[in-house]
Structure 1
Amino acid sequence: MQVALYFYFYLSILSSFFLNLGVFPVPAFGQTDGFRESFLAEPGSFLRLFELALAHRRAWNLSGALLALDEVLRIAPRCPAALLLRGEILLDLGRYEAAREAFQLGDEAAPEAPDGTYGLIKLNRALLNWERVLALCKRILSNSPDNAFAVLNSAWAHFNLRNYEDAVRLYDHPVCGKSRVMRLGKGWSLLRSGKVDDARVVFQSLLKELPTDLEALRGKQEVESALLKQNLPGWRVTAALTPEEAASFLDLASRAASLGKISEALDLWGYVMQGRPDNASACLGLAGAYSSLGNWGQASYYYSVVLNRQPDSDALRGKIRALGALGQWADAASLSADLLKKAPADALALSTIAYFRYLLGDFEKACGFYERAGKDDSLMLLGRAWCKFMLKDFQASRNLFKEVLQKEPANVGAIEGLKLLEKSEEE
C-alpha cells in the first residue's frame, strides 16, 4: 500500500512540474474512480489521512496538513510520500532545517526515486546555495539527461552564479528548451551576457505568442534600456562583485549599522548578496539587522542561508533566538540539541530546551535544564521556580522566587509567583 501511495504522490509531483513548464495539463490528485473507491473501502486508513493532508495544503492550512501527516507517519513511519509531502509543507513554512530532515528521510525510504533530491533542490534554491543546487541536479542528470526539473534548475543556478553562457546552453536544451519558462530564462541569460540583440529576438517571439506575458514584456523593456545604454562610455553588463568590492561594501554596511542607519546597512548587505550570494558576512549582517528590527521571520531566513552552507555557532544561536521569538519552540529545541553537541554548557541552548520541556509539561526535565543553564542566573532561577510550582513543590518554589527577588526586587514573574503560592495555600 505504501508503494501505491508513493507512486500517486510521485506522479502528482511530476505532473505539477510539467504543468508549470506548459507541457501538459494536470488531472486533479485522487480524482479517479479507483482512488476514490480505495478511500471509501478503508475509512480511517492512512490513505484517507494522506488525502486529508493534501486537502489542507491546498487550502493553505499547513498546520492542519502537518497534523494529518503526523498521523500518517504514526501508522507508516517510512512512507516516502508522507515524508516528502511533510518536507514540502515545512519548506512552505520556512522551517528549512526540519524540511531538510524530512526530504533526507524520504530519499532514504525511496532511494530509487528522485523526489527526495527534488525537495533538496528546492530547499537549496530557497536558501541561495546555487552550487549545491548544481551538484544535486548533476546527480539526477547523470541518470536522466532530459529530466526537465533538473535541467531548469541547473540553468537557474548558472544564471544566479552569473555563468550566463552555461545558462543559455541549458535553457536551449533540445528536449526541454521549448517551454516558455525555458525560453524566458534564455532571453534573460542572453541579455545579462551582453547579447542584447539575441535577447530581443527571444522576448519578441514570446510576446508575439502571448502579448500579455508580463515577464517577457519586462525583458523587452530591459533590452530597450540596454540598447540605449550600451553606446554610453564605460557601459558594461553587470558582473559579480570581486572579493575586494564585496569587502568594501561590507565595511560600509558595518559602519552604517554602527551609526544606527539600519536601512542603509540593509541595502548595502543586500547589494553584496546580489553580487555574491555565498557571502556569509552579508547574510549574518542581514540576519542581525532584521533581528534588531524585530523582523524575526527575515532574521530566521538569513540565519538558515548561512547554516545551509556551513556550521556556524553564531548563526545557530541567532536562529534559535529567532525561532523562539516566532514561537517555534520545537524547532528551536531541536537546533539547541545540535548546539549542545558542540557546546555542552551553552546557556541559550539549555534554556531553550528547558522552556520547550516546560511547554510539554515535562517539568522535572525542564527544571534540570534550567539548573544546568545557570544556577545563579535570575531567569534560570525563575524557570526553576515555576517548574517547582507546577510540580507542587511549593516550599522549593517559594525559596527560588525569593532568591530571584533578592537579585531583582522588581521581577514581575517572581512577584506573581509568590502571590499564586499564597493563593494556593489559602485554598
Structure 2
Amino acid sequence: MRLRNRIGGIALGALAGVLVGAAGGWGASAAQTEPSVVGYDPLASALESSALERAAGHLDTALAAADRALSVAPRDPAAWLVRAELLVDLGRHGEAIEALDELIAARGESARALTARARAKVGAGDRSGAEQDARGALALYPASGPARAELIELLRSSGRPEEARAQLTRLRLQAPDLAWAVASDARLRAAQGHVDAALAELEAALAGDDAIGSVRRATIEIALDAGRAGRAVNAADPWLVAPSSAPDVDALVLAARAARASGRELQALRASLAALDRDGASAAALDATVELLGESDRLVETLLRSRLERDDDNLARAWLGRRALDDGRVGEALELLGEQGATAELQLLRAEALRRGGRESEAIAVLEPLCAAGGPARAFYERALARFALGQLELAAADFERAASGELSGLAQFNRGAVLDRLGRYTEAVAAYEAAVAAQPDMAQAWMQLGNDYHFRLGDRARAAAAYRRFLAVAGEDAQVRAWLQEVE
C-alpha cells in the first residue's frame, strides 16, 4: 500500500512543513472518522490489538488491526511503521521497503524505521543496503538493541565473525543478560570451533531461566550441528514435554529433530504433529512428519514397547518378537516372547527363536503340543527345520510333507525335496520339486534342483533341459545353468 494513496494524493513535499503538530499532518492526532466514547481511543486500541496479535504469532490478524489503526488515523507514522514491520514479518519485503521509503522521506529517519527497512532489505537480498540502514540506525541511536542485533546477524552471515563479535561485545555491555546476545555470542563461538564453550554458556543461561526461547533454540541447533544429540534433546525437553510452551512452529520442528536424533521417535512425532496443528501449511512441519512416518516400523515398535510397559499384550509381544527375529536379534526376541507363550503365535515365534539360537531340541519341545493338536502347518514346518538341523532326516521329510499346505506349500515341498536328495531318494525328491514349482512357479531354485536331479541322478535329459530352461526364464541368465543346459540338449 503506497503512502500517497493513504493521504489522498497530497504531495509528500507539501507535507514537509506540517509533519509535527499541524492538524491532519504526520504525527498529529488525526480527526476521528467515527464517533468515540469517553476514555476510548480507537487508534491506541487498534495498535494495542495489533501488538498483541503479533506477539501471539497471528501476523495476518495483526496486519488487519494495523489497517484498522490507519483507517482511524491515515497519516499516523506509528501506525505506518507498525504496518511496515508486519509486512517484513510476513515476507512481503518489497511492499515494506516501499512504505518505509516514503515514510522516511516524509517523516525523516528514525532508528526504528531504518532497522525495519534493514530487515526488509535482507529479505529482498539487498545485504549492502541492509547494512547501511542498520549502521544508519545506530548512528541515530547507538543504544538501539534491534539495530545492533540486525547488524550482528548481517556480519555473521556474511562471514565477518570478528566484526560481528565486536558489535556483539558492545551489545552485551548494554545488556549483559540479553538472551538474543547470549545466543548470538554462542553461535559465533561455535562457528569458530569452540562448540563446548558455546554450549556451556548456553546451558548456564538456560539453568538461570529455562523460558529463554532464543537461548534454547541456539542450544539445540548448535548441539545438533555438532552431533551432540543428548545435549540437544536435553535443551529441547521442555518443548517436547509441553509442546504448547514452544514459541513457534520452527521451535517445535527443531525439538522434533532433537528427539529423533536421540531415538525418541514418539516425542518427535508428538512435536511435529503439534507444529502441524499450529500451522498445517508449514513445509518444515510437514517434512518432519513425513520423515518420521517414513520410519513407521520404528514408530510402531516404540508404541508397542510403550504398550507393553503398561500392560501385557500378546499382539504387541508377537509383533515385537517378529521384528527382533527379522533383524537377527534372537536373544532379544526370546526375552520378549517369554518362557511360555500364551498363544499359538507366541509359541511358534519362540520355537523359531530357539532354533535360530541353536537350541533345536528346546524348539521341538515347544512345538510338540501344537503338532499333536494337528497344526498349524507352520508348526510342522518349524519342527522340520529343527529336526533337519539335528540330522533327523526321515522325521524332517515327514514334517515337511505335513507342512505342505497353504502359503507354505511351495517352500515345504522344496525343502522336502532337499532332504530326500540327502537320503538318496531321488524319484521322491523329483516329485517334491515338481510339487514345489506347481505351487510356486517362480521358485527358480526348485527348477534348478529339478533339472539337476533329472540330469545327474535320473539321466532324463529332456526333462532336465525343460527344467533348466524354466530356471533361466524365471531367474535370468546364469553361466553354470546355461552350461548344464548345453550338456543335455
Q: TM-score, normalised by structure 1?
A: 0.38
Q: Which has the higher contact order (CA 8 A, sep 6+)?
A: 1
| Bigger Rg, which one | 2
Q: TM-score, normalised by structure 2?
A: 0.33
